Structure 1
């Protein structure tokens, strides 16, 4: 396949149009290089892992790994003797002899090994205190509330001390422990679902006891929850959203972050509405400094992912989720599972590559600049999936400009990208790289070198939804400048786009 490019300055754009035999209406995307808006969040992570995926997850930009669904490691009933067990190792009844202050009542081995793997992989630990999803292949955890006794179902002092000792073991060396400086401890996972057989009142009382206990040891630790089940996230079961936040307010209980889950969203932009609602609820109750964490998110968890993930549709969907979170009051964004973007032995799927592109922007061009062209909706997310999103960002030295365009669902096909207020002169040479995710290409890269200027116009045809465009402009140093004549000939001679067989 011939290596060709359609990235042009103002003069080349005129040649481009004169040589075209196809008339089309371009989607206008305007970028103002000088208008700084925000910075890209370093907020991505995942659940489980890293296993053998360490390097891969780093490439995807995952910073945090949440300790959920190891089915043993990081599950409190496995590393403590809080519960009695049967001959098969299944957890049965509360152990009245459990003493949370006694090191002999803990077995940290499996959890130590798992957390060490997270740390050695270069990740930060996001510690979920609770239990994993029920899986008959493993000893079965209990989902009953960890109360002090069956006669006192609203007291959680022993469990609260267990949580405090967990923090001490991993942050302060207690019981031959570590000094990991773990920042986030999330209390439980999806109360209101299968993980919690108690009431909302019991969860609130447990959270209060645990928060007070951990804060008494280290006030800087961030405590949050509840890892809300998706029906709570969307407001159908408010007892773990509005009710939980009201309880915290009325009892003067600290919460450092509210965490929630979302699966099956038809329109990625719904994340902003849910995040905005939670932000408002927290602010009204005075928790203005509390963070918002999405601790589980995916398109779904069934076998359809096998075809969705390795497709342009999946790439655009997942990228639009992240771009929505970027512009929403979301502080952490954790995929479930961490290896969500691989299918079998295939790691670098279109969906994975769209995440790699975002991570490159976060690392190399962290300063967001003003852009236009976005097409999103508010409300009616189940019936209207319109979604076209743009993110533009520059490097701190202003030698790079990266642009991501996620076309999940729109009528846009051909783009005209107008960039103004560039700090580059006509004597500068600009390398332009395009990575395309379309029906026939998975992150295919095409490179051109053009003349600089204070404004540039770049045309990109044939980007019908679903698709992803990753556009990178970099001012070259004199030693890296390449000849431009051959590239000009390519632009004139090969239009329309040769990468589509039609």
Structure 2
């Protein structure tokens, strides 16, 4: 990494539009919600919602697994009897997710309100036994209800199922019941679900942040990996948490640690997920949770996560506590400061999902600095599928730089009359404020930014302009169109783009060669515009698939090839 300094406070960055790194990862996800923040969740481009801390999604809430007076495991509970389930409140949560385009990441277990409360944090044994047949059947029936219509259920195709949360913390009474009792429960549940549907993704266990960052506490994770390996237990993803790391680059360091553990065990295909993270935990009065500095930390952390050997990240939380979003105000989004840092990343990921080379980040990678404020200024760049825009995110968390020069090369817009730069700036006193400037067109451009000292977050959208002032390739959409997915062939994800000239009910579905529907990507009314949908379905096997759009009278089908 070479940085050219014009002065003590001047920072140079470089972006190569022609150098493709890959796709932006699935990092725009949250725990809980949307609750009263639905407009905010949509505006923030949230893609996936983990059900943790959503009480209706806790199994004691939707089953008769426990009696109430006294609270104890119900000796008469029959997990195959539909009358033993009470789905209404849970259905409402999951249906809101589905109907608004949010993918559900279903955490099977209990939320914080039941943590540390006996017997909810005891192993969910069968009555008068130490086996897990009943709870395995409960969780399998949960899958059946939401994926296969059991008990007046749904066909939502929920792919990811996480078994429990922080068994190494207050969610499992490990002072009485050793770690292996959780491992045995995970084995029973994962075998039950994978036997029922081997295409689902099963994993655990949302391990405590301390079990990752504290060397003396790492046995929970290493022993769990060994248990799965030695007993041939299904493990599609390992989930873990990360809190209290004020160096945004910590997400890279600890992702690398987890990845090495999995690879060393031979689990090279097991994904690594952070299912909870934030700058701190449980300190609602911490200013870093809602401040310009917190916004820059979050943006730098997400850029670091994009660089890291990490497959998915889910923020804690979307709403209500340590939140990115407040309740909507008159139907409009209301962001915390940190939420603006999240939005700056998620807009880039949603609108320009192809990462391109960007140089100039400065960070501290020494593992001894992970919990402390350190020098950190990060850059991420991407482009649209059609090459008609370049997006650049710069997060200045902690540095002496106040001015930037961004040198962008190999632009394909030499025939344009000029280049429009739309800036979205977040810094003290400035909340995601938009401004527009113009530069002379060519194969390269140098963009100068001033007064962007730490903490600050800048998102830039760079597009070519014709002499009429309209972005080349057109903001005016006059026709329906479905484009060829990119990349194609792909593994495991690809981008499907389409455009609609008017408000339309849009259906976008994926089918196998036998005409069976394998995934619904879009099923809602959308305004006129261009859309890019990421299709990521690693459970599918190699082969030819078809994607079809129906928008009014417009119907198109295209073929794509998945190679594994």
Q: TM-score range by the shorter chain?
A: 0.7 to 0.9
The aligned residue for residue 382 of structure 1 is 371
The aligned residue for residue 127 of structure 2 is 149
How far has the Cα of 1:426 moved from its partner? 6.3
The aligned residue for residue 11 of structure 1 is none
Provide the rounded CA distance (Å) in 2 between the counterparts of 1:141 and 1:341: 33
The aligned residue for residue 255 of structure 2 is 275
Q: Give SS of 2:188's match.
A: helix
The question of whether the paired residues in 1 share the 8 Å contact of 2:416 and 2:466 is answered with no
The aligned residue for residue 496 of structure 1 is none
Is residue 174 of structure 1 aligned with residue 150 of structure 2? Answer: yes
* Correspondence for 1:257 among 222, 230, 237: 237
* Unaligned runs of at least 5 residues, structure 2: 1-5, 472-564
* Correspondence for 1:357 among 330, 333, 344: 344
The aligned residue for residue 47 of structure 1 is 31
| Equivalences for residues 197-236 of structure 1 within 5 A | 197=173, 198-234=177-213, 235-236=215-216
The question of whether the paired residues in 1 share the 8 Å contact of 2:373 and 2:398 is answered with no
* Unaligned runs of at least 5 residues, structure 1: 1-21, 483-502
* Correspondence for 1:342 among 315, 325, 337: 325
* Correspondence for 2:113 among 134, 151, 162: 134
How far has the Cα of 1:207 moved from its partner? 0.5
Provide the rounded CA distance (Å) in 1 between the counterparts of 2:269 and 2:283: 39
Report how many aligned residue pairs link the two structures: 452
How far has the Cα of 1:321 moved from its partner? 1.5
Q: Give SS of 1:241's match.
A: helix
Q: CA 1:298/1:382 → structure 2, altered by over 3 Å: closer, same or farther? A: closer
The question of whether the paired residues in 2 share the 8 Å contact of 1:404 and 1:469 is answered with yes
Provide the rounded CA distance (Å) in 2 between the counterparts of 1:292 and 1:168: 26
Q: Give SS of 2:36's match.
A: helix
Provide the rounded CA distance (Å) in 2 between the counterparts of 1:411 and 1:25: 6
Q: Give SS of 1:134's match.
A: helix
Is residue 370 of structure 1 aligned with residue 354 of structure 2? Answer: no
How far has the Cα of 1:24 moved from its partner? 6.0
The aligned residue for residue 450 of structure 1 is 439
Q: Give SS of 2:402's match.
A: coil
| Equivalences for residues 343-492 of structure 1 within 5 A | 347-378=334-365, 379-380=367-368, 381-383=370-372, 385-425=374-414, 427-480=416-469
Q: CA 1:384/1:363 → structure 2, altered by over 3 Å: closer, same or farther? A: closer
The question of whether the paired residues in 1 share the 8 Å contact of 2:422 and 2:462 is answered with yes
The question of whether the paired residues in 2 share the 8 Å contact of 1:61 and 1:355 is answered with no
Identify, as 1 or 2, the structure richer in helix. Answer: 1
The aligned residue for residue 494 of structure 2 is none
TM-score normalized by structure 1? 0.85
How far has the Cα of 1:270 moved from its partner? 0.5
The aligned residue for residue 164 of structure 1 is 140
The aligned residue for residue 56 of structure 1 is 40
The question of whether the paired residues in 1 share the 8 Å contact of 2:407 and 2:445 is answered with yes
Q: Give SS of 2:442's match.
A: coil
* Correspondence for 2:226 among 229, 238, 246: 246
Query: Relative CO higher for 1 or 2, CA cutoff 8 Å, sep ≥ 6?
Result: 1
Provide the rounded CA distance (Å) in 2 between the counterparts of 1:377 and 1:130: 37
Provide the rounded CA distance (Å) in 2 between the counterparts of 1:311 and 1:78: 36
**Consecutive aligned runs of 4 or more in structure 1 exceeding 6 Å deviation:** none
Task: Provide the aligned C-alpha RMSD in A.
Answer: 2.2
Identify, as 1 or 2, the structure richer in strand. Answer: 2
Structure with higher Rg: it is 1
Provide the rounded CA distance (Å) in 1 between the counterparts of 2:257 and 2:14: 30
Q: Give SS of 1:242's match.
A: helix
TM-score normalized by structure 2? 0.76
How far has the Cα of 1:370 moved from its partner? 1.0
**Per-residue CA shift, 1:432-490, capped at 9, x if unaligned?**
112222223222222112220111111112211111111221012443259xxxxxxxx
Provide the rounded CA distance (Å) in 2 between the counterparts of 1:341 and 1:443: 14
**Per-residue CA shift, 1:227-259, capped at 9, x if unaligned?**
111111224422321010000000011101111
Q: Give SS of 1:216's match.
A: helix
